Amino acid sequence: MEIHFPHSLGLLYSAFTYYAGYGIVVAKKNMASMAWLSKWSAKHTLGSLTVLVLTIAVLEFSLSVASSTSKTVRVLLSPGLVDPSLPDPVLGLRLNPDVPDHDEAGFRNASALKSADLVALGDSQTYGIGVAREQAWPQQLSALSGQSTYNMGVPGYGPVHELVLMRRATTLRPHWVIEAFYSGNDLYDAYNMVYTRHQVSDLRSTDQAILSAIEKAETESSLDQTIDRLFQVYIGAFDFDNHQRSATGMRQYLSEHSKLWGLLRATRRVVTKNSNGALPADSTWSQQVSRAQRSNGLWELFERGSVRTVLVPEYRLSALKMEDPRIHEGLRTSIEALTRMASIAQDTDARFTIVLIPTKELVFYDTFGGGGNGALLAVAQLAQEEQKMWNELKKELHLRGISYIDTLPALRESLSAGESPYPIGADGHPTAQGHKVIAATVWSAIAATEQRSQHTP
């Protein structure tokens, strides 16, 4: 007898029920393709459940195998966003290799290199927060120069962290090690690493007057707590959604253990993201204005023609007050760390230079000046303190024979030309345009140095 299986889902059903011995509805010429529904029975129901369970089991097994062999799939099916960092006993944190954007060593590169012409060290300004991996300035530097470049930038790091990483950087046998120094938080990060986390303790001052001044300042006001409070405002934590629901019961169990549930969740994320689309510039700016009104004056709006942004001078000033003994000690500690890095580079026949990256606030102030604009008038004190820091740092680097590359003029020029190197929100990280400017400035300086070396007897 010839058996005609129904098509589509019926085929899957019929195949399994026939194999299980439940019998099959024989098609007649005058019978509709779904006539088997009229003869539904208990054993057909059991067959359907068998098909469903087996199908789910096969999918779960397949997704589990794929998840175990591919970090991209593993992250895609995870219950939530994978933590980009992992705890580290010395550095505090290190980047998580399971993040798709990270290489096997945990840095933000397509792959972990065994050697590189250029190695970049730094914090989130080097890592490339807010831009695609290939838009970060180390990757743009590689494309511009044609030389292999390895990005070792890690958000939250400072000069002392990078000193710890320096030996690892030199194992790549680079021609150049490029240390990116960011004025926005590197002084605090250096102080915090040595005095709060008690790492690289030989960088700690032995001057009792300095130690007493630091202790007195901490007694009056905790620097960590002050910066943490202002950081919450910087990221807009004054405007959060209290209506998020937390999964419970069976939903929570499936979320944590089911790969198929993870696939459905990932699909929903993509559909939701694609359906939202990009907001018009005016709408985005309106949102910034609305949020600034809830910031208690800590978000300063700036608008000059087509150039718009949000400045956060009070937050930046908390890590740049040079009269604060802790911040000034952070500068001294940074200079000592940079000096040691230069020495390590020299010992391994690598050239060493420091890229000076200013705050967004200084770039705007240096470009447009006070000019009666309320936002820039509020930035004036920050600009004064930051310039004071830069002058002292440049003087010390010059005395120690350490080269540096100042990116402020190029960032200012880009802003003046109407190509803002920063986003319109409070975020102080450069846009892809800002990273492009930094990469071009770095390569111009390095190429000029190498050309001079070739003509030096």
For residues 185 and 321, is the Cβ–Cβ distance under 8 A?
no
What long-range pairs does 52-55 form, CB within 8 A, spacing at least 24? Answer: 54/16, 55/12
The single-letter DSSP state of residue 135 is G
Q: What is the pLDDT of residue 81?
A: 59
Listing DSSP states for 15-72 in one string gives HHHHHHT---PPP-TTS-TTGGGGG--HHHHHHHHHHHHHHHHHHHHHHHHHHHH-HH
Q: What is the pLDDT of residue 338?
A: 98
Positive or negative torsion for Cα 218, 219, 225, 226: negative
Alpha carbon distances (Å) from 106 to 123, 148, 239, 359, 408: 14, 18, 32, 27, 30
Please state which of the ranges 71-75, 92-96, 141-145, 191-195 shows the lowest mean pLDDT: 71-75
The chain-wide mean pLDDT, for the chain, equals 83
Look up residue 234 and give its two tokens: 């910087």
Q: What is the pLDDT of residue 49?
A: 74
Question: Which is more confidently placed, 242 or 145?
Answer: 145
For residues 400 and 353, is the Cβ–Cβ distance under 8 A?
no
Question: Which is more confidently placed, 373 or 138?
Answer: 138
pLDDT single digits (tens) 393-406 = 999 999 999 999 99
Q: What is the pLDDT of residue 246?
A: 42
Question: What mean pLDDT comes out for the span 373-390?
Answer: 88
CA distance 153 to 162: 9
For residues 5 and 15, is the Cβ–Cβ distance under 8 A?
yes
Q: What is the pLDDT of residue 263?
A: 56
Span between the terminal Cα atoms of the chain, in Å = 96
Q: What is the pLDDT of residue 267?
A: 54
Q: What is the pLDDT of residue 37?
A: 47
Q: Is the pLDDT of residue 4 over 90?
A: no
Banded model confidence at residue 295, pLDDT cuts 50, 70, 90: confident
Q: What is the pLDDT of residue 376?
A: 79
Look up residue 9 and give its two tokens: 């889902």
Question: Which is more confidently placed, 239 or 420?
Answer: 420
Set out the domains of the chain in order of their start, with CATH numbers.
9-67 (no CATH), 105-239+309-454 (3.40.50.1110), 249-293 (no CATH)
Q: Is the pLDDT of residue 197 over 80?
A: yes
Enumerate residues 6+ apart whose C-beta is below 8 A from 105. Answer: 97, 112
Question: Which is more confidently placed, 13 or 172?
Answer: 172
Question: Which is more confidently placed, 375 or 412?
Answer: 412
What long-range pairs does 66-71 form, CB within 8 A, spacing at least 24? Answer: 67/259, 71/97, 71/98, 71/100
Q: Is the pLDDT of residue 443 over 80?
A: yes
User: Which of 47-56, 113-122, 245-254 reaches the highest mean pLDDT?
Assistant: 113-122
Question: What mean pLDDT comes out for the span 316-331?
Answer: 97
